[in-house]
């Protein structure tokens, strides 16, 4: 079985694959101070709930945008799963697509993994819209090659900035408002963020398509993708597990054996 780890700025997701099927998936807040032993205690309990043991896992792959946490994740794989993990971005890891930008190392591993999965599942050209800590728009061509993209502040980050910068604005959770015009501060904030992001999505998708010069499909992923699917016609399909599917594909492309 494969252990796939996606370490983002806010959350770190662990998934165990048995073939093509995810048989266990768990999230923890990203914390670079968390040790390999702490991860192991936490994962052991969760894996037992779905009748999995550490011994069931024989390979692992990591994609991280938080370099400070990589050492402990590597140690987790080596010490408790007895395998040397693949790390997306390492020179010896072949992701199967070309990165057609000037500074390849600047691209977040999660964005490249999403590109691999989107091309395999949906073809191209395509825009991959990922609702994470940042909201990212990534472009692949008909061959799956990565052409760059757009990075905007994430929705929850924007809400937190409003709360922190303005004394009278409360901290609220994002959801789709019932109407555009808010009749109190909270509903006005919610409408501004939600429909502001609908406008952001529609505007950027239109400009990206114009810039690229070809028809493109839009694949959305991330925790808030489903919420925005109802608010705009620009999203063609939603794939909640896009990143994990990409990690599985890359792992299969770079087979490794246990230590």
Whichever domain contains 37, its CATH number is 3.30.420.40
Per-residue pLDDT of the chain (259 residues; tens, 9 = 90+): 999 999 998 899 999 999 999 999 999 999 999 999 999 999 999 999 999 999 999 999 999 999 999 999 999 999 999 999 999 999 999 999 999 998 888 888 999 999 999 999 999 899 999 998 889 999 999 999 999 999 998 887 777 777 676 666 677 777 888 889 988 888 888 888 889 999 999 999 999 999 999 999 999 998 889 888 888 999 999 999 999 999 999 999 998 644 4
Q: Does the annotation flag 64 for ligand binding?
A: no
Q: Does the annotation flag 10 for ligand binding?
A: yes
Residues 109 and 234 occupy one common structural domain: yes
CA distance 29 to 11: 4
Residues 57 and 133 occupy one common structural domain: no
CA distance 87 to 77: 11
Q: Does the annotation flag 8 for ligand binding?
A: yes
Residue found under tokens 């409408």: 191
Burial 145-168 (b: 16+ CB within 10 A, else e): bbbebbeeebbbbbbeebeeeeee
pTM of the model: 0.88
CA distance 87 to 95: 11
Domain membership of residue 118 as a residue range? 104-245
Q: Does the annotation flag 111 for ligand binding?
A: yes
> Would you name the residues annotated as active-site residues?
110
Residues 239 and 123 occupy one common structural domain: yes
Residues 73 and 143 occupy one common structural domain: no
Q: Does the annotation flag 178 for ligand binding?
A: no
The sign of the torsion formed by the CA atoms of 99, 91, 75, 46 equals: positive
**What is the per-residue pLDDT for 259?**
43
Q: Does the annotation flag 56 for ligand binding?
A: no
């Amino acid at each position: 079985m494969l252990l796939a780890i996606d370490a983002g700025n806010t959350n770190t997701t662990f998934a165990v694959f048995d073939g093509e099927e995810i048989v266990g998936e768990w999230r923890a807040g990203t914390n670079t101070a968390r040790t390999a032993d702490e991860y192991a205690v936490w994962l052991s309990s969760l894996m037992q709930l779905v009748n999995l043991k550490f011994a069931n896992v024989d390979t692992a792959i990591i994609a991280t945008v938080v370099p400070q946490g990589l050492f402990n994740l590597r140690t987790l794989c080596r010490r408790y799963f007895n395998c040397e993990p693949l790390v997306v971005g390492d020179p010896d890891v072949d992701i199967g697509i070309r990165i057609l930008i000037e500074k390849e190392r600047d691209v977040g591993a999660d964005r490249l993994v999403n590109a691999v999965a989107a091309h395999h599942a949906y073809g191209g050209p395509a825009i991959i819209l990922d609702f994470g800590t940042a909201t990212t728009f990534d472009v692949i061509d008909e061959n799956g090659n990565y052409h760059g993209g757009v990075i905007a502040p994430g929705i929850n980050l924007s809400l937190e900035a409003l709360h922190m910068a303005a004394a009278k604005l409360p901290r609220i959770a994002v959801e789709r408002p019932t109407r555009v015009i808010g009749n109190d501060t909270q509903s006005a904030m919610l409408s501004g963020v939600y429909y502001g992001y609908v406008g952001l999505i529609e505007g950027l998708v239109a400009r990206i398509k114009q810039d690229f010069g070809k028809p493109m499909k839009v694949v959305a992923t991330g925790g808030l993708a489903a919420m925005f699917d109802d608010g705009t016609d620009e999203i063609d399909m939603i794939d909640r597990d896009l990143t994990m599917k990409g990690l599985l594909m890359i792992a299969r492309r770079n087979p490794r054996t246990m230590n």
